[in-house]
Structure 1
């Protein structure tokens, strides 16, 4: 199985801008720029919504981890009612490297013990396909909260 995305950049690095499109067209010529990547809080370019590679990596990791966790919980006989994962990917501008992907989970899983919840969430953290792609390249952390 392969998935495809295309990036096009026009102009120089400082004043230019790029567009990202995905095979599914969920992203269709979505803008990205130096400002949207390196300046905190800047997610617009020329007044248009703009993204960056780290935001896309965070979305991929949050989505993949949540799906893997749901699969593991269901396979173990639990029926989660809510799994909400936030992911923050850190780009260190001093070394121009992505250094961390931090997952933060809030979950409602009736009938699970805190110990079993922790065991399954750690399994999902290590074994979701995006975590596997990121491991050995950056620190991956997980903060998991089991809600009543």
Structure 2
């Protein structure tokens, strides 16, 4: 069975002077203001597509790593993942994503954690969807 998640954006005006709102329609979890300046200049209290991608990627990656760790017989106490999405106009848009994960995983060595973290990067559905972008990873136990 396939599950469809929905979001919707309403944009008004030109790219540089306009603004918009994106809503998370499936969950109803929120509506967020958008503006070009939040992509190219400063966030100014508004989000942008890259920040939403970072949120999706960090969430998906954490879930994928949790599943891999549990399957390894070393379920995590906690996984804390950050995703840094770089938007660079000179490089044509999204230039890369860097994941930083810190895990609390009893009974696992640092090298084992790094190996499983790398596996999760490859198997995460969002990583797969974003494979056109260079994705790097820093993994450590905390």
TM above 0.5, yes or no, is: yes
Selected match of 2:75 from 66, 73, 79:
79
| TM-score, length-scaled by structure 2 | 0.92
Partner SS state of residue 23, structure 2: strand
Q: d(CA) in 1 for partners of 2:138 and 2:91? A: 26
- Give ranges in structure 1 of 5+ residues lacking alignment: 45-49
Shift, 1:15, TM fit: 1.7
RMSD: 1.2
Pairing of 1:1-148 with structure 2 (within 5 A): 1-23=3-25, 24-28=27-31, 30-40=32-42, 42-44=43-45, 50-135=46-131, 137-147=132-142
- Give ranges in structure 2 of 5+ residues lacking alignment: none
Q: Give the aligned partner of residue 47 of structure 1.
A: none
